[in-house]
Amino acid sequence: MLTQKLNETPTESPRVSLFVYGTLKRGQRNHERFCRGVLAAGEATVRGRLYDLPYGFPALVVPKEDVRATGTTDYLADAEKQHSTGARPREAYPDWDMVYGELLAFDDPEERLPALDGLEGFRPGEESFYERVLVPATLTQTGATVLAWAYVIESANGVYLPGGRWPVSL
C-alpha cells in the first residue's frame, strides 16, 4: 500500500517523494513546519555515508553512480522526472553504508520543493550547502526501490556516523 501511494501520480499534480534522514523526519524539529500534508510516509534506506555536523543536523554523501538527476527550479519537471526515470535495484558497493531515514510523499511540488530548498540552502545552478539529487531509496517494509529526492553534500564533513542513523542514540 505504501509503495503504491509513493508511486501514484495524480492527474492534477505529480507526486514528489523525498528521502529525509535528519530534522525533517517525523518527531524532529522541522517535520511539523515543513512536512504538513504528507500523503504517505515510511521507513527507507539509501546507500551513502551519514555525518553529524556541528550545527545540530546531519549531512548525507551518496555515491555519484546513484545520482539520477539534480534538482532545478522547474519543480513540476523535477517531480515528473522522478516518475519517468527508472529506479533500478541498487548494486552492491561494499564501501558504502545503508543510511536510514523516511520516504515522504507530497502532491504539491511547486510549493513543497522551493520551501525545502530554502530550508536546506539549495539554490539550483549556484553553489549551495546541500544539493537536491534524485537517488534510489528502498522501502524497509516492502523492499521496493523507488526514486526519491534527497539533500546531500559532495564530500565528507562532520563526525562520521557508521550506523547510518541520526540522531545518534547514546
What is the tens place of the pLDDT at every residue in 97-154?
999 999 999 999 999 999 999 999 999 989 999 999 999 999 999 999 999 999 999 9
The model's confidence at residue 51, banded by pLDDT at 50, 70 and 90, is very high
Mean pLDDT on 65-88: 89
Amino acid symbol at 140: T
- pLDDT for residue 90 is more than 70: no
* pLDDT of 56 over the 70 cut: yes
Mean pLDDT of the chain: 90
Q: From residue 54, how far is each of 58, 152, 157, 158, 164 by CA, in Å?
A: 9, 16, 10, 7, 17
What is the rounded CA–CA span in Å between residue 46 and residue 113? 20
Question: Across-strand partners of 150?
Answer: 133
Q: State residue 91's pLDDT score.
A: 67
DSSP state of 143: -
Q: Are 36 and 116 in contact (CB under 8 A)?
A: no
Question: What pLDDT score was predicted for residue 92?
Answer: 65
CATH topology of domain 2-156: Hypothetical upf0131 protein ytfp (3.10.490)
In this structure, how many other beta carbons lie within 10 angstroms of the beta carbon of residue 60? 25
Would you state the pLDDT for residue 84? 79
In this prediction, residue 10 has a pLDDT band, given cuts at 50, 70 and 90, of very low
Which pLDDT does position 89 carry in this prediction?
59
Rounded alpha-carbon distances, angstroms, from residue 15 to 4, 25, 61, 107: 12, 18, 25, 4
Residue 8 has pLDDT above 70, yes or no: no
- The distance of Cα 38 from the centroid of its chain, to the nearest Å, equals 14
pTM over 0.85: yes
What was the pLDDT predicted at 83?
85
State mean pLDDT over 83-109: 85
pLDDT for 11 equals 44
Q: How confident is the model at residue 9 (pLDDT cuts 50, 70, 90)?
A: very low
